[in-house]
Amino acid sequence: MTPVTQRIAVGLEYDGTDFVGWQVQRAGRSVQGALEAAVSAVADERVSVTGAGRTDAGVHARGQVAHFDSHARRTPRQWLLGINSNLPEDVAVHWVRQLDADFHARRSATARRYRYRILERKTRSALLRRLSWWRRGKLDCAAMTAAAISLLGERDFSSFRAASCQSNTPMRRLTMVALYRSDGLLHVEFEANAFLQHMVRNLVGVLVEVGRGAAPPAWAAEVLAACDRTRGGVTAPPQGLTLMGVRYPARFDLPLLPDRYRG
């Protein structure tokens, strides 16, 4: 008799500094590769893992979600303890759930939320160098907010996608942009049904140009309407970006994504 396969979902966080990104590549450490090795060790069989989002090299995650299928019989606690004991120190799993086979970490997701951190002060930080983009002067938060409002809705985000982006369509529905200051950092949060490659970092690049007074708030809408990446600003560096969480339909009963993350 063929063993029954179980679908397991996990929630994890990682420091992306020393990874080539989420996805397994020909060379370098990947988060997916580290997680697959840990899960396979616990399952005592080769296991493939699918993530909700493919974060880039240097990008962090606080609420990444992934799933895998396994014939192994383990309790959620056994999976949790076993996987964490086999993961490197810069990756940790927070929760484990057994779900029906119709759950898919990427395709079942209804929204993702990212946070970008900007350090606004005259001197660089030794402690925050891996977690923020250092800017020497204060940015105009009100102007950035005015610019961000024009980006909301279902739009063609061609001006904010990487040249190497493999998505079939540039259309995305941006449902939330929030800017606030806390602990000396300017936080910029975005929520959308999905994101294109480098989309958040390119959005931040345009907002920072507005915030430092190099362009008016209306420029953001002009860049969006152009559907041309060359019309945008710089791509913000990866270390300031964190995948904060993923939303799923209530029927899966997964840990909720809060309305606003703090800290």
Query: In whole angstroms, what is the distance from residue 63 CA to residue 11 CA?
Result: 6
- Asked whether the beta carbons of 209 and 235 are under 8 A apart, the reply is no
Query: In whole angstroms, what is the distance from residue 174 CA to residue 113 CA?
Result: 10
Helix or strand run (H / E) with residue 224:
helix 218-226
Answer yes or no: 56 catalytic: yes
Chain CA centroid to CA 110, Å: 14
Query: In whole angstroms, what is the distance from residue 218 CA to residue 15 CA?
Result: 35
Q: Given the DSSP bridges, would you call strands 241-247 and 60-70 parallel, antiparallel or unpaired?
A: parallel
Q: Which of 170, 185, 176 is nearest to 225 (CA)?
A: 170
Query: In whole angstroms, what is the distance from residue 9 CA to residue 17 CA?
Result: 24
Query: In whole angstroms, what is the distance from residue 58 CA to residue 26 CA?
Result: 17
Of 15, 18, 44, 56, which is the active-site residue?
56
What residues act catalytically? 56
